């Protein structure tokens, strides 16, 4: 089996419009959650979100790309352009069938859907739909437009597994490269869910925090008083490349992707299994594939979204998989970014890689009173980053429908 490495990264998210800004804000423990500005959310139980402010798509997109795409596709194109630029890879020098795109999207063009339906129902003129309605809406358009922008003719599709989506995309790209089906993939995930219907739907489920008096402290995984997740938006992209191909062209290598696994809870539509049986299996299988012992795993970026049930279930799953190794430290960076749904795994993979590169573990911020239900023996990085050697890092992403995913990166 061929080896797979990361040679480029890009992002646009509430904490930054590029990798350096994002990472620096993560280390500073920043949170940019505010009252929702995109629309009037005053009638909803939840009225806060982690929005991207002052997005300037024209930095990487031309006018037609902006006109013809929903925000989730614009985020995808923006982060993919950064990652490709960062990699130093010139697609024009390669066989276009050797480069593919596997991209993750959870919801697709919610903004497009809502505006078009609203116009159809309430429009002052004869109701009609835009010819761009379907192309802007469908979830696979992000991967399609990335391939069109760069003339990439290899394997191309979109994964959908709710909030595990980006990890699913990485896992598929990883396996195709290992099998020799491609040399390079642009892979990642994007989401633009801060719309009335999306926020209203999650709000009706009481899945999100309603801490309106202090929005920046609302996302508080592992805190006794957490009351739900904070919705975020954006994208993250990785250039995944066959090791020998990267080495031959003298590419800088951030890390090696060495393990990836998925399982299903087969339990409940929206709640995780309380004992984390299948989630534990996903972690164990990913580590087994990586050929890494439990004692060699240094950092685990948890999915932990700040929900009362989910955080504890994941920690139980981790203990079931690994016990309580003294060297393993964990944190949830959603305390800073909010929850980017289908793009969550993408930006958290970037955090895991940057942790390896910089030998530092980002903190879980906003913990004021640790939940007494948290199992004993778990090393949570609380409120301040922890500097220590990081050779291996795992990133978890779980989703509605019982989807569990874990990926493992290793220092080269």
> CB within 8 A of 117, min separation 6: which ones?
none
Which is nearest to 130 in space by CA: 143, 144, 117, 146? Answer: 117
Q: What angle do CA 108, 348, 365 make, to 5 degrees?
A: 115
Least confident of 120-134, 140-154, 204-218, 277-291: 120-134
Interatomic CA distance for residues 336 and 219, integer angstroms? 7
> How many Å apart are CA 381 and CA 386, to the nearest integer?
7
- Token pair recorded at residue 187: 């892979």
pLDDT band at 8 (very low <50, low <70, confident <90, very high): very high
Q: Which of 167, 394, 412, 169 lies closest to 287 in space, CA to CA?
A: 394
Number of residues that this document lists for the chain:
412
Residue 228 has pLDDT above 90, yes or no: yes
Burial status of residue 248 (CB atoms within 10 A of its CB: 0-12, 13-18, 19 or more)? exposed
Q: Which two tokens stand for residue 69?
A: 């795409």
- Using the structure block, give the residue that is written with the tokens 């599709």: 157
The answer, yes or no, to whether residue 121 has pLDDT greater than 90, is: no
Which pLDDT score is estimated for 124?
66
DSSP notation for 256-303: EEEEEEEEE--S-SSSPPTT-HHHHHHHHHHHHHHT--GGG--EEE--
Checking if the pLDDT of 62 tops 80, the result is: yes
Question: Would you name the residues annotated as active-site residues?
Answer: 163, 303, 339
Segment 277-325, tens digit of pLDDT:
999 999 999 999 999 999 999 999 999 999 999 999 999 999 999 998 9
Secondary element (H or E) of residue 4: strand 4-12
Give the span between the Cα atoms of 360 and 357, in whole angstroms: 8
The reported pLDDT for the residue numbered 125 is: 61
| Average pLDDT, integer, range 385-399 | 98
13 has pLDDT over 80? yes
Interval 63-93: pLDDT, tens: 999 999 999 999 999 999 999 999 999 999 9
Q: Report the predicted TM-score, pTM, of the whole model to 2 decimal places.
A: 0.97
Rounded Cα distance, 305 and 164, in Å: 12
The span from the CA of 191 to the CA of 397, in Å, is: 15
Q: How confident is the model at residue 168 (pLDDT cuts 50, 70, 90)?
A: very high
Helical ranges in 192-258 per DSSP H: 196-204, 243-248
29 CB burial (10 A radius; 0-12, 13-18, 19+) = middle
Q: Are 412 and 256 in contact (CB under 8 A)?
A: yes
Per the rule left: phi > 0, alpha: psi between -120 and 50, beta: everything else, 285 is alpha
Residue 146 neighbours by CB under 8 Å, 6+ apart: 76, 77, 80, 101, 103, 152, 186
Q: Is 358 helix (H, G, I), strand (E, B) or coil?
A: helix
- On the question of pLDDT at 211 being above 90, the answer is yes
Cβ proximity of 348 and 377 under 8 Å: no
225 close to 70: Cβ distance less than 8 angstroms: no
Domains and CATH numbers, the chain: 4-248 (3.40.47.10), 264-410 (3.40.47.10)
Over the stretch 170-193, which tens digit does the pLDDT of each residue have? 999 999 999 999 999 999 999 999
Q: Give the pLDDT mean for 352-372.
A: 98
The pLDDT assigned to 120 comes to 87
> What are the residues facing 157 on neighbouring strands?
102
* Residue matched to tokens 């090696």: 256
Judged against a pLDDT cut of 80, whether residue 339 lies above it is answered with yes
The rounded distance, in Å, linking the Cα atoms of 245 and 299 is: 28
Runs of H (alpha helix) within 33-164: 63-67, 71-87, 110-122, 133-137, 141-150
Q: pLDDT class for 253, splitting at 50, 70, 90?
A: very high
For the cut 70, the answer to whether the pLDDT of residue 32 exceeds it is yes
């Amino acid at each position: 089996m061929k080896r797979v490495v990361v040679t480029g990264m890009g992002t646009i998210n509430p904490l930054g419009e590029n990798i350096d800004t994002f990472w620096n804000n993560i280390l500073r423990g920043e949170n940019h959650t505010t009252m929702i500005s995109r629309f009037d959310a005053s009638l909803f139980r939840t009225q806060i979100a982690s929005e991207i402010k002052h997005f300037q798509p024209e930095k990487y997109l031309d006018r037609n790309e902006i006109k013809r795409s929903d925000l989730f596709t614009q985020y995808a194109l923006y982060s993919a352009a950064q990652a490709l630029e960062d990699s130093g890879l010139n697609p024009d020098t390669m066989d276009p069938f050797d480069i593919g795109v596997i991209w993750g999207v959870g919801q697709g063009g919610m903004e497009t859907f809502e505006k078009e339906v609203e116009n159809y129902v309430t429009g002052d003129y004869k109701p009609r739909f835009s010819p761009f309605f379907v192309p802007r809406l469908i979830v696979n358009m992000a991967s399609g437009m990335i391939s069109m922008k760069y003339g990439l003719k290899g394997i191309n599709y979109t994964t959908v597994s709710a909030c595990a989506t980006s990890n699913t995309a990485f896992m598929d790209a990883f396996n195709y490269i290992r099998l020799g089906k491609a040399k390079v993939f642009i892979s990642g995930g994007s989401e633009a869910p801060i719309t009335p219907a999306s926020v209203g739907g999650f709000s009706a489920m009481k899945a999100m925090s309603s801490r309106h008096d202090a929005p920046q402290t609302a996302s508080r995984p592992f805190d006794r008083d957490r009351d739900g997740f904070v919705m975020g938006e954006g994208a993250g992209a990785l250039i995944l490349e066959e090791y020998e191909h990267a080495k031959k062209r003298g590419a800088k290598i951030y890390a090696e992707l060495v393990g990836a696994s998925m399982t299903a809870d087969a339990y409940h539509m929206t709640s995780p299994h309380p004992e984390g049986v299948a989630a534990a299996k996903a972690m164990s299988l990913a580590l087994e594939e990586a050929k890494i012992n439990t004692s060699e795993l240094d950092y685990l970026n948890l999915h932990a979204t700040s929900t009362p049930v989910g955080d504890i279930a994941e920690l139980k799953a981790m203990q079931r998989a690994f016990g309580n190794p003294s060297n393993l430290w964990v944190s949830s960076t959603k305390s800073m970014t909010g929850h980017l749904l289908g793009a969550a795994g993408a930006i958290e993979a970037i955090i895991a890689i940057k942790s390896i590169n910089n030998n530092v573990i980002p903190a879980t911020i906003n913990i004021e009173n640790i939940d007494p239900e948290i199992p004993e023996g778990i090393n949570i990085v609380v409120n301040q980053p922890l500097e220590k050697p990081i050779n291996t890092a795992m990133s978890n992403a779980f989703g509605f429908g019982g989807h569990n995913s874990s990926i493992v990166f290793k220092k080269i």
